[in-house]
Structure 1
Amino acid sequence: MAKVSAVIVTYNRLPMLKEAIAALQAVEPKLSHLIVIDNKSEQDTQDYLESLGDSITYVRMSENLGGAGGFNAGIRYFYEQTDDDYVWVMDDDTMVHPDSLQPLTAFAEQNPNFGFLASKVMFSDGKPSVRNVLRQYGTYKTTLNTEFKEPVRIENATFVSSFFSRDIVRQIGLPITEFFIWIDDLEYTERAGRIAPGYLVPASSVTHKMRSNTEDDITNDIERRLPWYFNMYRNRVYTMRKRDFFRHMRGNGKIAWDFLRLIFVRTDHKKKRFDTMISGIKTGRKFKPTIEFPKDK
């Protein structure tokens, strides 16, 4: 039977983390390892995770390296410290179901030539999660996860529930720590998809327990979160540079649309929003982050 490590990255969301861990411990087949990467959360999170003892593998970071750095550390631990066949990665607001894992392992065993697999992601009210709508490979439009009943090839996926083989990690390396937040999952799954096709497996479903079922949007987000959008646009431009001509131009169109909306929308701190976007775009054109590779055991 295939052995699976799950990697969950957390930062100061203890109530949600408790729920996510309990859900992972209830999946069938049982996980070989449950690796929790803690981005130096407050003491209450550390105390709770230490209280779980050997039921999890607890890795506490020396500093907060964002989701990207956390997934880098988690996938590295899977590759270097276990002999498991697959790694299943997710955020701490991903709530798996008892039957979420089995369709992924079954597909992987029957179709070993894959770059990545992704679950169908739903919001808490049972509707599709708009942050996790996937694009069928080779098509012009995004489609809702519920439109697919059978596995289908997709362009990329998020780290809400993504699944990789040990061999793919060996070939493509680790998520880019320098991304810090946002787009790290799209870049990583696209990197895997250049080795072998990636698939949505609709029989595997998870719940994304977000505050609201909306997309991150620089035109209306609160001021406190605006600096993060520098990462979004820098990382997006870098990722677009790796794509084919059509997908590169489509990405440019998305950025242009964001820019036009910001011109005409009524919002506060408009100059700060423009400055953040433009700075991220300019930096992304010359951004050359390091892609790290794990060491073989």
Structure 2
Amino acid sequence: MNATVCAIVVTYNRSELLKKCLNAITNQSVNVNHIVVIDNHSTDTTPKIMRSMSSNQILYKRLDDNYGGAGGFKRGISYALKNTHDQYFWIMDDDTIPTNETLENLLHATLLLDDFGFLTPNTHWKDGTPMNVPPIAQNWSVAADKGLIKVKEATFVSLFVERKKVEKVGLPFEEFFIWHDDTEFTTRLSKLAPGYFVSGAMVVHESAGNSAPSVYTDVSSRISRYYYLYRNEMYICKKHKGKIITLTTFLRDLFVSLKVLVVAPDHRAKRFATVLKGTFSGLVFHPRG
């Protein structure tokens, strides 16, 4: 395969996982031409480790602040566009551990398709259970005989995309900060060409847990983050999914805001206000491109 690939990894204060991730990338069965590591202003040993690893292949950029996942991925993709000429970008979190043949299988999938908006691998948690499973598209089975399932969207846990597609749709929105920046980005990509789940391309997501976060039960220090979840999701509905889905989502979120007043174990008023504020903010939110 003559394709050139730049891996883009965003990290923050997880130096041991980062080393494991980078080791997995550099030991792929096919060559990775460049690895861009974007450091969201880590305060652990990440800067020391990365300065010792910087090379013509590994390009390290430490940011002057923590810009969240969205800001990190925006800056990582932008850096790769400006500092490499690679054909494909392989985008991932620092807790994503590809198997040895992940990239080979992603590249093989490109040969099986006339066109694609993005590819997403088969992601499992540490115990082997599936996670980050993307929602399937209506005509999901068009390439199922090739081990490819058509999907609507995907996450930055691991995402494979052509450089020329990114140049057409633009970068992720930094203002999303966390949550759904990848959903919105892949929704834009899917308007150019379909996205596909590549069943043979395996990665392990070594996150702290394999359960979706919940505004009903999450610890008090994380409640304020849910503002971004509900705001960003509402924006995506308004921008990309039409009036009916937007209205349905709005009513669902109103129900959630009321439900937390009944079922949440603590900080009910704060949880209620966060959901409500995020939902209404999403109706008028217009991120800059």
For normalisation by structure 1, the TM-score amounts to 0.90
Say if 2:135 is the partner of 1:138.
Answer: no
Quote the residue 2:225 is aligned against: 228
Higher relative contact order (CA 8 A, sep 6+): 1
User: Please, which of 70, 73, 76 is the counterpart of residue 71 of structure 1?
Assistant: 73
Render the CA deviation track for 1:176-228: whole Å, top value 9, x for unaligned. Answer: 01111111000000010111111111111111111111001111000111111
User: Please, which of 230, 235, 238 is the counterpart of residue 238 of structure 1?
Assistant: 235
Asked if structure 2 preserves the Cα contact closer than 8 Å seen for 1:149 and 1:202, the reply is no
Matches within 5 A, 1:57-206: 57-129=59-131, 132-138=132-138, 150-206=147-203
Q: 1:148 to 1:214 in 2, by over 3 A?
A: farther
Render the CA deviation track for 1:119-140: whole Å, top value 9, x for unaligned. Answer: 01101000111xx12211128x
| Separation in 1, partners of 2:177, 2:138 | 29
Render the CA deviation track for 1:81-110: whole Å, top value 9, x for unaligned. Answer: 111000011111111111111111111133
Deviation for aligned residue 1:263: 3.8
Number of residue-to-residue matches in the alignment: 283
Q: 1:254 to 1:158 in 2, by over 3 A?
A: farther
- Runs of 4+ aligned residues of structure 1 deviating over 4 Å after TM superposition are none
Q: 1:105 to 1:249 in 2, by over 3 A?
A: farther
Q: 1:150 to 1:259 in 2, by over 3 A?
A: farther
Tell me the amino acid that sits aligned with residue 239 of structure 1.
I
* RMSD between superposed Cα atoms in Å: 2.0
Quote the residue 1:3 is aligned against: 4
Tell me the amino acid that sits aligned with residue 71 of structure 2.
G
Secondary structure (helix, strand or coil) at the match of 2:110 reads: helix
Deviation for aligned residue 1:166: 1.0
Q: 1:269 to 1:79 in 2, by over 3 A?
A: same
Deviation for aligned residue 1:257: 5.5
Secondary structure (helix, strand or coil) at the match of 1:210 reads: coil
Quote the residue 1:277 is aligned against: 275
| Separation in 2, partners of 1:87, 1:223 | 36
Secondary structure (helix, strand or coil) at the match of 1:242 reads: helix
Tell me the amino acid that sits aligned with residue 56 of structure 1.
I
Asked if structure 1 preserves the Cα contact closer than 8 Å seen for 2:95 and 2:207, the reply is yes
| Separation in 1, partners of 2:84, 2:45 | 28
Deviation for aligned residue 1:43: 5.1
Of 249-258 and 222-231, deviating more is 249-258
Quote the residue 2:15 is aligned against: 14
Deviation for aligned residue 1:260: 5.2
| Separation in 2, partners of 1:244, 1:180 | 21
| Separation in 2, partners of 1:259, 1:148 | 43
Render the CA deviation track for 1:233-258: whole Å, top value 9, x for unaligned. Answer: 11111111122335545644653563
| Separation in 1, partners of 2:135, 2:247 | 16
Quote the residue 2:287 is aligned against: 289
Quote the residue 1:294 is aligned against: none
Say if 2:210 is the partner of 1:209.
Answer: no
Quote the residue 1:295 is aligned against: none
Asked if structure 1 preserves the Cα contact closer than 8 Å seen for 2:13 and 2:44, the reply is no
Deviation for aligned residue 1:152: 1.0
| Separation in 2, partners of 1:148, 1:284 | 40
Secondary structure (helix, strand or coil) at the match of 1:244 reads: helix
Asked if structure 2 preserves the Cα contact closer than 8 Å seen for 1:39 and 1:63, the reply is yes
Q: Which runs of 5+ in 2 are unaligned?
A: none
Q: Which runs of 5+ in 1 are unaligned?
A: 292-297
Secondary structure (helix, strand or coil) at the match of 2:71 reads: helix
Of 93-102 and 255-264, deviating more is 255-264
